[in-house]
Structure 1
Amino acid sequence: MNSHSPTRPSSARVLLLTGPSGSGKTSLATATGLPVLNLDDFYKEGTDPTLPQLPDGGGADWDSPLSWDAGAAVAAIEELCRTGRTAVPVYDIATSARTGASGLALDGAPLFIAEGIFAADVIDRCRAAGLLADALCLRGRPTTTFRRRLSRDLREGRKPAVYLVRRGLRLLRGERTIVARHTALGAHPCARPEALARIAAARTGRPVEAAARR
């Protein structure tokens, strides 16, 4: 890799998409047709001694930003913006382990989505690097998010059922606090229709404020 490449102007920008687990981030990102970087693949492994723990002794706190490798995620975003491709870990949530790696290429797309529950935690770094197109926090009814999340997690066998129910109830109680935190970090809170409008604006280079007025 050319040692001078980080100083070249960015050829692509990132739209960070965050929101509570189960809020519909993945389906929305897929619906746009844009390249998508799944930030959940940057979770730490279950054997990592730095994993935060739940205060009730229920194991690792996978909803804490400290359970996630923000540095590696930002490095992947920067490489995608700079070169148009990067290597991404393949993470298995059920086993809390990385099982390999895959390549992600933008194929010339000037915009891509990086989505995950910790996306708001890297807004400042992406903005400071001149890479940020927009940052959105997808929100909806907490009860709808709870049902969607629990159905998905049970279907995919992400964790034992008892753990998933307890986690789901904890996240249900704290959902408004989660959205408020993401908003404080710089993400714009919105429902799916407004999110799609802002993403469309970012694709064409229109000011996001114009999309919000539509």
Structure 2
Amino acid sequence: MNFHKEGFKIIIIGTLLIVLIATLVINYLHFLTIPVIILLSLIFAWLLWFFRDPVRLIPMPGDDILYAPCDGKVVVIEEVDENIYFKARRIQVSIFMSPLDVHVNRVPVSGKVVFNQYFPGKYLVAWHPKSSTENERNFSVIDQGTYELGVVQIAGAMARRILNYLTVGEEIKQGEELGFIRFGSRVDLYLPLDAKVEVKINDVVKGNLSVVATKELL
């Protein structure tokens, strides 16, 4: 199993703390040894599971195909007024990542980064309707050439650290790493109105594997 670079420090610190706690319990609280060891083992296993980084190859690359930027469940599909960059109606597709999902964020379509901005904010639960506009988030826009796509990383109640690897002006490729969000979060996509959404509410998607939408190239 591969582990993401953002987890190395946390895994090392977590391992040291777990060893310290286990040592103290074994030496001074013998009667709690078994339940504490079981609990610490579960915590350690979850920590490793959270920072896993599976190899995901795009099955069929294409500028007309928009792949899921993350693992999770589709919780929103609706037309909205997007007022930060597009200042127009867009189709919003939101994917909620639980603490058990892979939290690597990936590039849905190849293109040029034309906008990338961090916004501080609240930490409402990621499925809250206002989390898209009020939570801590990072708003990126990719210009494919014939259309633009908005990708918003949103912090949730548990996620307090959004990591974004994009730089305005750089060319990025479909399937590359876009960023990472720690401990439960959400990603919103803002699609052109003529895009065809290929998912429905409650669908479970996989980053780089599941097609979220298709867009006819004009």
Normalising by structure 2, we get a TM-score of 0.28
Q: Which has the higher contact order (CA 8 A, sep 6+)?
A: 1
Q: Which has the larger radius of gyration?
A: 2
Which structure: greater helix fraction?
1
Which structure: greater strand fraction?
2
Normalising by structure 1, we get a TM-score of 0.29
